Amino acid sequence: MRIHKVHVKNFRALRDTELSLNDTTALIGENNAGKSAFLIAIDLFFQAAPQLSQNDYSDGNFSEPIEITIYFCDLTPHDRKEFESNLVGDHFILTRRFRYGNAGDSGQFFVSARVNPEFTDCRSESGKTPKMALYNKLREKFSVLPKVKSADEIEPSLENWESANPDSLQLHKVGSFKGWTNVAVGKLKAKTEYIFVRASHDAAVELQTNKKSPVKELINTIARQTIENNSKFKEVLEAANKEIQELTDPSKVPALADIGMNLTKILNDYYKDSEIITTWKPIDSIQPSFPASEIAVKDKDFTTNIDGVGHGLQRAIMLTTLQYMARRRVSVEPNEAKFAEPQSDIIIAIEEPEIYQHPIKQRLFAKVLQSLGEDFSQITGIRIQTIYVTHSPLLVSLAKCQDIRVIRYRPSVTKNVTVSKTSLQSCAQKLAEIDSAGTATVMSDQKLAAKLHTFKGEIAEGFFADCVVLVEGAGDKAILDAYYKSIGRDPHADGIVIAEVGGKNNLAKTIVVFDQLGIPCYWIFDNDKSGKKKDIKNKNKELQRLAEISADKCVEYPVGPNSRFAAWEEKIEKYVIDTAGPAFAESVKALTDEFDDTEADDWLKTPSPANALIKLLREKGIIFNELQMIVVFIDALRSESLDAK
């Protein structure tokens, strides 16, 4: 099974928040926004004996339970058979509830099913006598419910009523899923394993000395699932189980029946009218053992335990294992047996996979993490879903924007965590809607993704910004950055990213992505009034419509700063030159010795000369009103975003 969605209530910052997941999902956001809380909540859900503290309850709200609900999808053949009666459509919805100070009632599972909610109290009652009383009370309202002789007959009667009255059912949490908590966890983890890799700064403890080492857990899980999914292993285990059931069938072992009879004879010496009745449950199956791994590392001719090597290598071993899995799934030999569908799942959650890794390695890991979720291994039958928390722009991209979740903590608004997401389909739909010519069609996901792949990787920094400023080219970026520096400000220090998109045609696609993820966006472009580019009027109107300007108020050639965008009649370089007047040539001449190898056309396109030139022009008293207005509008966008936190 894969996780389609997780809904968390009353756990740390997650007061009541949902997170949807793809095959690969990247969680981004500020520190302490609640990103890791989602991963920890899922880990608690899967643990056999989870431990919680007072601090785990939101604002110390102990009166309400912590609830973690997971919507599972894409069930394996084993899971479909195991949970068939619990499915809601194609989903298996399971809730785990934790109550503070009530160990006996904490950690219980509840399955969501379409049921009659009025049957809930009767179903939840564990005592046989009160359960019978509740059932008889139900019969007063639901007269078609049959009489029963014992409490064991109640549930089948309720289920029969529900089967005959589907229109009267509602989605409701039903308790006592699969009996005891540890039994339920065992059923869940039979074919689905959740492995959580924390962002531990003591990687040796994380990877080797911990009782639950994620590296060993992953490698052991791969080994176990590979063996379990093997058809020959299944045949042998099935035959062994059948034989062991035959050998231990109580009806075929007379000595078991004699135990109760002989105990009764002895008891009668004390109580003549008493009897000891013994019943025997046959063994359903045997539990096989699987190979367990031990990890050592040979580094520069020196072999040691994993804690004897550097942090980067320690962390890389986990990702090396994942890369092995990514390669293994595609290297199917012609004569190898192939699975037609996944047989088991590994869900891997990783905090900051970029820790201790050089940028080149980070880019490689991004590709590996992405490839893991794209398909399953036809050799082993193993499918992998990955969730990772990252602060690195090298692990996210515009082309994979649908896999990004922006996590924000909003204490001043909702006192809750919010999750923003987008999809290629919704971005394509928005691009078609703003087409003022009315001729655009909605691009396919593949076509839009291909267009987004052309962007430079640096633009991904915008996903981590308080406000992103999109410009056409190098000149726009150099001049705007230089102006910020000339007024004593650093955009990065203010959480502002200025990113070039490589031309006006790329602006709309980028704006839509950032807007849908809730990242404040400002854009700067040339209106190209004097140019000969085709369809330029329509492009100008599209960029205005993205600023929520109605179609009837859009102009063909916008000029000047706006609250969401700024447009130049020609280029920003010409604006600077015209505003400076004679002072521009004088300043260039004064700086020639310092930048003697700079071409005349590059003075306002190269960061260092542009910084020096804008600074000198401002010292000469030149005022760039439009640039200052742009800064004010950007600050307003950024402040609006920060105020919402």
Question: Using CB atoms within 10 A of its CB, is residue 5 exposed (0-12), middle (13-18) or buried (19+)?
Answer: middle
Q: Is the pLDDT of residue 110 over 70?
A: yes
Per-position DSSP letters for 36-61, written without gaps between them: HHHHHHHHHHH-SS----GGGBGGG-
Q: Is the pLDDT of residue 289 over 60?
A: yes
User: In sequence order, what are the residues at sequence separation of 6 or more whose Cβ sits closer than 8 angstroms to the Cβ of residue 175?
Assistant: 108, 110, 123, 124
How far apart CA 152 and CA 536 sit, in angstroms, is 75
Is residue 213 within 8 A of residue 196, CB to CB? The reply is no
Q: Is the pLDDT of residue 346 over 90?
A: yes
Question: Using CB atoms within 10 A of its CB, is residue 155 exposed (0-12), middle (13-18) or buried (19+)?
Answer: middle
Is residue 198 within 8 A of residue 355, CB to CB? The reply is no
User: When comparing pLDDT for 115 and 290, which is higher?
Assistant: 115
- Tokens describing residue 231: 């058809």
User: In sequence order, what are the residues at sequence separation of 6 or more whose Cβ sits closer than 8 angstroms to the Cβ of residue 523?
Assistant: 469, 470, 471, 507, 511, 543, 546, 564, 565, 566
Q: Is the pLDDT of residue 185 over 90?
A: no
Is residue 538 within 8 A of residue 570, CB to CB? The reply is no
Split at pLDDT 50, 70, 90, the class of 209 is very low
Which of 6-15, 156-165, 232-241 shows the highest mean pLDDT? 6-15
Residue 188 pairs with which residues in a beta bridge? none
How far apart CA 109 and CA 83 sit, in angstroms, is 14
Report the pLDDT averaged over residues 355-360.
Answer: 86
β 521-526/467-471 pair status = parallel
Tell me the helices (H) and strands (E) count for the chain, helix number first: 21, 20
Is residue 307 within 8 A of residue 208, CB to CB? The reply is yes
How many C-beta neighbours within 10 Å does residue 29 have? Answer: 21
User: When comparing pLDDT for 113 and 632, which is higher?
Assistant: 632
Pick the range with the lowest mean pLDDT from 259-263, 541-545, 587-591. 259-263
**For tokens 């919680």, what's the residue?**
52
Residue 95 pairs with which residues in a beta bridge? 69, 110
Q: What is the mean pLDDT of the chain?
A: 86
β 66-73/87-88 pair status = unpaired
Pick the range with the lowest mean pLDDT from 41-55, 254-268, 346-360, 531-545. 254-268
Collect contacts of 609-616 with beta carbons under 8 A, ≥24 apart: 610/478, 610/479, 610/481, 610/482, 611/481, 611/482, 611/485, 611/486, 613/482, 613/587, 613/588, 614/479, 614/482, 614/483, 614/485, 614/486, 614/576, 615/482, 615/485, 615/486, 616/587, 616/590, 616/591
Pick the range with the lowest mean pLDDT from 70-74, 83-87, 276-280, 345-349. 276-280
Report the pLDDT averaged over residues 81-85.
Answer: 86
Q: Phi/psi of residue 474, each to 5°?
A: -65, -40
Which of 206-220, 265-279, 437-451, 459-473 shows the highest mean pLDDT? 459-473
Q: How many residues in total does the chain contain? A: 645
Q: Is the pLDDT of residue 204 over 80?
A: no
Q: Is the pLDDT of residue 617 over 50?
A: yes
How far apart CA 221 and CA 236 sit, in angstroms, is 20
pLDDT tens string 152-167? 899 899 989 988 998 9
How far apart CA 568 and CA 561 sit, in angstroms, is 9
Q: Is the pLDDT of residue 456 over 90?
A: no
User: In sequence order, what are the residues at sequence separation of 6 or more whose Cβ sits closer than 8 angstroms to the Cβ of residue 319?
Assistant: 353, 365, 368
% of the chain exceeding 70 in pLDDT: 90
How far apart CA 603 and CA 598 sit, in angstroms, is 7
Query: What pTM was estimated for this model as a whole?
Result: 0.86
SS3 376: strand
Is residue 191 within 8 A of residue 301, CB to CB? The reply is no
Per-position DSSP letters for 58-99, written without gaps between them: GGG-TTS-EEEEEEEES--HHHHHHSGGGEETTEEEEEEEE-
Q: Is the pLDDT of residue 641 over 70?
A: yes
The 3-state secondary structure of 470-494 reads EECCHHHHHHHHHHHHHCCCCHHHH
How far apart CA 107 and CA 228 sit, in angstroms, is 28
Q: With residue 313 as reference, give the H or E element that holds it.
A: helix 311-328
Q: What is the pLDDT of residue 85?
A: 77
Is residue 478 within 8 A of residue 606, CB to CB? The reply is yes
Q: What are the Cα distances from residue 286, in Å, to 283, 343, 549?
A: 8, 20, 69
Split at pLDDT 50, 70, 90, the class of 210 is very low
